[in-house]
Amino acid sequence: MIIGTRGSRLALVQTRKVAALLKEKGIETDEQIIKTDGDRFTDRPLYQVSTGVGAFVRELDDAMIADGIEIAVHSMKDLPTVRPDELVTAAVLPRDSPYDVLLTKAGLTIDELPKNAIIGTSSMRRRAQLLRYRPDLTIEELRGNIDTRLRKLEEGQYDGIILAEAGLERMGWNDMVRTRLDIDMFTPSPNQGTVAVVALAGTPAVDAVALLNDEKSQIETTIERLVVKDLEGGCTTPIGAYAKFESNGKRIRVRAEVLSCDGTKSIKVDEKISADNWAEEAEKLGKDLANSGGKMLAEEAICYIQELKDQKEKK
């Protein structure tokens, strides 16, 4: 089978992991690198990339549908909530760390950062959560692959940067000094830390890839998508969601929130739902989040982001 992938080091590590797992099942694969808008335009914030939703995904989707690429490997948090009918998320791999981490040259915690410290991130969610916790921080745009971001930190362009811990782990950088951010205050993006494998619907690839699926991670990530679905936000909207089975396997704790872009307003839910009726209860929780002001806050954030984009285009 042909595997479509982005060309970054992290994307290739993820893709080759999937290829190795498939090989264990007796399935041979070939790699095909496809460049996305999110990869091309690293000189601007994601909200300025013309594709908007799915900036790291759309070209891979198009290649699968038009050119017959059987499967593609994605960081699941990049996948838009609404997907083409021709494609199926055939497998969700066991989840890695869902946490955001702070990296500084001195190994500081977020509370130890000096006043007005410059923090780099490309995420509007992380920006909003950082400003909610430390309004004095100066948040500046940070684009580029994981190597580029670490180089910019080392050069002193930032006092600290925020990354997903899962990316560091997959690169094998487990000894890198970092501080985990509290998951209640810094609820991650839906599906953060998870790799998904997408297949062409109606092809043998669906059943082949399904052999890799981790049911627990699939349920948790599906819940996260259901809870934020009614907010109708894109990948640049400040939205977080995290679902995790309790140790007894009978309940699932679900945390989700939407924030204003400056972090001064937020609406959140934090509830436990039944593992036997998770889909229905997650949908209800999502409607509660949207109807309690979350949808309005998401719409305000989308309007604000569009205004920023319009201002940049005028310049």
Active-site positions?
Answer: 78
Please, which residues bridge with residue 31 across strands? Answer: 3
Q: Which of 139, 124, 142 is nearest to 260 (CA)?
A: 124
Q: What are phi and psi of 62, to 5 degrees?
A: -60, -40
> Taking a C-beta distance cutoff of 8 angstroms, is the pair 231, 258 a contact?
yes
Q: Is 25 exposed, middle or buried (0-12, 13-18, 19+ CB in 10 A)?
A: exposed
> Taking a C-beta distance cutoff of 8 angstroms, is the pair 196, 76 a contact?
yes
Q: How far apart are CA 277 and CA 223, in angstroms?
A: 11
Tokens standing for residue 63:
């290649």
> Taking a C-beta distance cutoff of 8 angstroms, is the pair 243, 283 a contact?
no
Question: 205 by DSSP, 3-state: which?
Answer: helix
